């Protein structure tokens, strides 16, 4: 009788945890395209912050190093309308491997809804990503989606590459979602 009660209590405690939606989802695929291996990433999560707050934080490029892991600096080089040139320095890490990364990107903003980022120059052969911001009327919060394609200029072990990038994206998105849910 005691064992049955214990199992029922254990199941009762576990079921609500299983039914709760995941706050963060991340997917990384390594695909062959144009004689190179491209990492395609997608990630999404929900925050309680309203879309206007999310937009304000995601487009404050110079403050990103305050909450994005391994980003040392982010500087706006120029702004013209909805087009922003941003220079970023960061580090990619996996186990004992460390690689400094320098990028200059073009951020094309569609106010309050999306940011399209393309590589101008830097330590990647391909770097394109897209941020999507969507209101969630039921909660008053926001759904944030991040997707992109990337090919580093430096060697990434094929069998580890997707795991390395997944780890980086999970760390980055977790930090971004936590920052978005923190009051200003």
Q: In what order do the strands lie in the sheet with 36-47?
A: 24-33, 36-47, 141-152, 124-136, 114-122, 97-110, 83-94, 71-80
Are the CB atoms for 133 and 113 separated by under 8 Å? yes
pLDDT at 159: 65
Query: In whole angstroms, how far apart are CA 171 and each of 71, 124, 168?
Result: 12, 20, 5
Between 115 and 184, residue with greater pLDDT:
115
Please give the Cα distance from 174 to 184 (Å, whole number): 18
How would you write 110-155 as a 3-class SS string? ECCCEEEEEEEEECEEEEEEEEEEEEECCCCEEEEEEEEEEEECCC
Weakest mean pLDDT among 8-17, 22-31, 81-90 = 8-17
Give me the chain's average pLDDT, please. Answer: 83
pLDDT at 154: 79
pLDDT at 2: 34
Quick: pLDDT tens for 19-57.
333 478 888 888 887 778 888 999 999 999 999 999 999
Please give the Cα distance from 88 to 82 (Å, whole number): 19
Over residues 81-85, the mean pLDDT reads 97
Quick: pLDDT tens for 135-178.
999 999 999 999 999 988 877 776 677 887 888 888 889 999 99
DSSP states of 12-26: HHHHHHHHSPPSEEE
pLDDT at 48: 93
């Amino acid at each position: 009788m005691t064992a049955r009660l214990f199992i029922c209590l254990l199941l009762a405690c576990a079921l609500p945890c299983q039914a709760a939606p995941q706050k963060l989802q991340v997917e990384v695929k390594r695909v062959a395209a144009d004689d190179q291996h491209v990492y395609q990433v997608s990630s999404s999560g929900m925050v309680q912050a309203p879309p206007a707050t999310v937009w304000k934080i995601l487009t404050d490029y110079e403050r990103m190093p305050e909450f994005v892991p391994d980003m040392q600096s982010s500087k706006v080089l120029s702004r013209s309308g909805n087009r922003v040139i941003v220079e970023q320095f960061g580090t990619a890490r996996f186990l004992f491997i460390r690689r400094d990364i320098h990028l200059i990107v073009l951020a094309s903003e569609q106010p309050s809804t999306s940011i399209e980022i393309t590589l101008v120059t830097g330590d990647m052969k391909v770097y394109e990503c897209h941020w999507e911001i969507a209101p969630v009327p039921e909660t008053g919060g926001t759904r944030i989606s991040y997707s992109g394609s990337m090919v580093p200029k430096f060697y990434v072990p094929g069998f580890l590459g997707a795991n390395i990038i997944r780890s980086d994206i999970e760390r980055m998105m977790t930090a971004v979602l936590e920052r978005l849910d923190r009051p200003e």
